[in-house]
Amino acid sequence: MQGFGSFSQSKNAGKQLIKTVVIDAGHGGKDPGCHGSFAHEKVVCLAMALRLGELIKAKYPDVKVIFTRDKDVFVELYERANIANRANADLFICIHANAGSASAYGTESYVLGLHRTESQQKVAETENAIISLEDDKGAKYVDFDMSPDAIIGIQLQMSVNLDKSIRFAELLQKEFKRIGRYDRGVKQAGFLVLYKTTMPSVLIETGFLPNVVEEKFIGSSEGQEKMSQSMFAAFVDYKNEMEGRGDKVPVNNAVEPVKPDENISENKPTEILEKSLFFSVQITTSDVKIPLNSSLFNGLVVKEYIQGNLFKYYTGAFLKDLDGAKNLKVELQEKGFKNAFVIAFLGGERISIEKAIKLAEN
């Protein structure tokens, strides 16, 4: 993990009983969050939040579990933090799904802090943007100082909570990786929902709904169960560490590791894409084969197809979504892929854009 110190301070800070947990299902009501072709963030997050709460209650009847919402209602970001603070919660778990391009995949966990990359900043901006749906259009956040100096000041004041937040995030990522999820790491960004919490707090981005493979996973009850079980296993380990206990999640409650051929990966073809009409963005053509992990692709997840004697490379998969592919094309051109252009596939074969548009309209 990059960008954080060790956890030694928390380990030596004394035992802490975990008596109250607040679980926050992102978005809700008039705020649907992001979406894929069939799944909506507010729905999948609520399902995982409620299931996580059930698992905690079943194993720890004495632990008070509070939900910021237990149905499809809109809750302001400020109030979500207030709920946790009023309850004197010992841990705040905020569950979300990621937006982003259709080629992005994996799970990441955030603590409050300074973003280190543009993508981290965009995640926070996307989640923070819902304040425009609040009654005062976000006026109450005017006094929230999200400057680097202010964030650093909060981190210094709440250093023990920050260490514990990082530790819980590490345990989450460890469990997600164990079930085959791609580990995007523990990160930091300026999330308003975490800004006013006074306890260890983590925001989980469970996956990218615009990615058809990711959507198939976290949009399904099976995927939601695996993610909830993983969060629960991380919670058990975190609680044991804080309280100086040694017991683990019982074997019959543990999640079986995902088999290699079931891993969520953009580097392998899927039945969904093989049978579907989708738009993508071609970034380069070569008369020699280029390794998919070549530095030429600047970290992009790419696929290859062969046409004539040429090797052609593309990224992204937008089911019947031409605009999504066009937006990605612009992003890629700005990043240096000047010759990027939109292409289309049907049943695994490239087709003309004109034909794809007609089929998409139908």
* Residues 114-135 pLDDT 10s: 444 444 445 445 444 554 556 6
Lowest model confidence (mean pLDDT) among 108-112, 128-132, 134-138: 128-132
The reported pLDDT for the residue numbered 234 is: 97
Nearest partner of 51 among 229, 187, 317, 193, judged by Cα: 229
Q: Is the pLDDT of residue 219 over 50?
A: yes
> CATH for 271-361, among 1.10.260.40, 3.40.190.10, 3.30.70.1070, 1.20.1050.10?
3.30.70.1070
Helix axes 41-59, 221-243, angle to 10 degrees: 50
CA dihedral 160, 162, 167, 170 (to 10 degrees): -170
The reported pLDDT for the residue numbered 281 is: 92
Nearest partner of 298 among 338, 342, 336, judged by Cα: 336
| Homologous superfamily of 8-260 | Zn-dependent exopeptidases (3.40.630.40)
Listed by start position, the domains of the chain span 8-260, 271-361
The reported pLDDT for the residue numbered 149 is: 57
Give the pLDDT confidence of 139-148 residue by residue, as tens digits. Answer: 655 555 555 5
Q: Is the pLDDT of residue 263 over 60?
A: no
Please provide residue 316's backbone torsions phi and psi, each rounded to the nearest 5 degrees. 85, 150
pLDDT mean across residues, the chain? 79
Using 50, 70 and 90 to split pLDDT, how confident is the model at 217? very high
* 344 or 145, higher pLDDT: 344
**pTM for this structure?**
0.60
Q: What is the mean pLDDT of residues 97-110?
A: 87
Q: Which residue is listed with tokens 């017991």? A: 247
| Beta carbons within 8 Å of 344's beta carbon, 6+ residues apart | 277, 278, 279, 280, 350, 351, 352, 353, 355, 356
Q: What is the mean pLDDT of residues 27-32?
A: 88
Give the range with max mean pLDDT: 76-80, 83-87, 357-361.
Answer: 83-87
The reported pLDDT for the residue numbered 129 is: 54
Count Cβ atoms below 10 Å from residue 58 Cβ, excluding itself: 10
Q: Is the pLDDT of residue 59 over 90?
A: yes
The reported pLDDT for the residue numbered 194 is: 76
Task: Please check whether the two domains, 8-260 and 271-361, share a CATH topology.
Answer: no
The strand pair at 310-319 and 277-286 is best described as antiparallel
* 290 or 7, higher pLDDT: 290
